[in-house]
Amino acid sequence: MSEESPVLVDVADGIMVITLNRPAAKNAVNKALAEGVAAAIDQLESSPDIHVAILTGAGGTFCSGMDLKGFVRGETPMIAGRGFAGLCEYRCAKPLIAAVEGYALAGGFELAISCDLIVASDASKFGIPEVKRGLAAAAGGLVKLPKQIPQRIAKEWALTGDFVSAGRAYELGLINQVVAAGTALEGAKALAAKIAANGPLAVAKSKEVVDNAQDWTSDVMFAKQNEIVLPVMTSEDAIEGATAFAEKRAPVWKGR
């Protein structure tokens, strides 16, 4: 994509970096940005050579949410089947890491919590301040957040619209790592490299189980898990992993 694109995509060593690229607007989400994110996710899902993706923002800010000027004009930054910003109602088969600098607010916050993992700058701020504008955090803040942190805390954030520090979000288990300002992408790449080194089939199926496990009752959870992971145990990658360990070499994954 060109430098003027609202979304930039770079792929190296099995890792895709998706950059929200409207820095003058604090990476606020308009229709074009939503379409760009959806297209990047399509590329991620369809390419066997890409194992993990990082979502970040240009200009020292992750995302300030919906472009309110566009909203007033009647523009809707939604993609059918994907939701807000082309991602918030979609679950990727491959891991997605948010690298957060600056603000992740409103829809930007909902984008971050739609990722599997979050690496955040110690100067970053999170929040769902929609109520301060007479709106509601309907892109995931009201339904996903209570599944990721204690319900009473999620309710407080939703009803007050207050901003939250990276430190507080880390204490609550919402984010995985807090790093020095300006190094969130670097930290996310290091985390992504660890994931990309593993068997892609095993990673995808492990993610699928964890994504769904909270909705399974205890009497069915192992049966549901086994439906997903048993094929991994008999895969070519499983044999390769064991063989590579015995031969003291790095495995060569086939994803099957």
Report the CATH number that the domain containing residue 218 is assigned in CATH: 1.10.12
- Residue 4 neighbours by CB distance under 10 Å: 7
Same domain, 187 and 209: no
* Greater pLDDT, 255 or 194: 194
Instruction: Please state, in angstroms and as integers, the Cα–Cα distance from residue 188 to each residue in 18, 62, 66, 116, 120, following that order.
Output: 12, 13, 24, 12, 9
Same domain, 126 and 181: yes
* Catalytic position from the list 130, 156, 236, 247: 130
Q: How many domains does the chain have?
A: 2
Task: Say if CB 78 and CB 70 are below 8 A apart.
Answer: no
- Of 196, 213, 231, the one marking the end of a domain is 196
* Catalytic position from the list 45, 101, 110, 156: 110
pTM above 0.75, yes or no: yes
Q: Please report whether residue 86 resides in a domain.
A: yes
Return the residue matching tokens 């205890």.
Answer: 218
What CATH number is given to the structural domain containing 52?
3.90.226.10
Same domain, 188 and 223: no
Q: Please report whether residue 182 resides in a domain.
A: yes
Q: Please report whether residue 192 resides in a domain.
A: yes
Same domain, 73 and 181: yes
- Confidence band (pLDDT; 50, 70, 90) for 69? confident
Same domain, 36 and 66: yes
Q: Please report whether residue 252 resides in a domain.
A: no
Domain with 218, as residue range(s), is: 200-246
pLDDT over 60 at 3, yes or no: no
Strand order in the sheet with 164-165: 103-105, 125-127, 164-165
Same domain, 188 and 208: no
Q: Please report whether residue 50 resides in a domain.
A: yes
Question: What are the tens digits of pLDDT across the range 204-248?
Answer: 999 999 999 999 999 999 999 999 999 999 999 999 899 999 999
Cα separation, 206 vs 40, in Å, equals 23
Q: Please report whether residue 78 resides in a domain.
A: yes
Same domain, 210 and 86: no
Same domain, 156 and 53: yes
Same domain, 184 and 209: no
Same domain, 183 and 211: no
Phi, psi of 89 (to 5 degrees): -110, 20
- Of 176, 196, 216, the one marking the end of a domain is 196
- Confidence band (pLDDT; 50, 70, 90) for 77? very high
Question: What are the tens digits of pLDDT across the range 109-135?
Answer: 999 999 999 999 999 999 999 999 899
Same domain, 181 and 218: no
Residue 110 falls in the annotated catalytic set? yes
Cα separation, 253 vs 239, in Å, equals 10
Query: In sequence order, what are the beta bridge partners of 100?
Result: 120
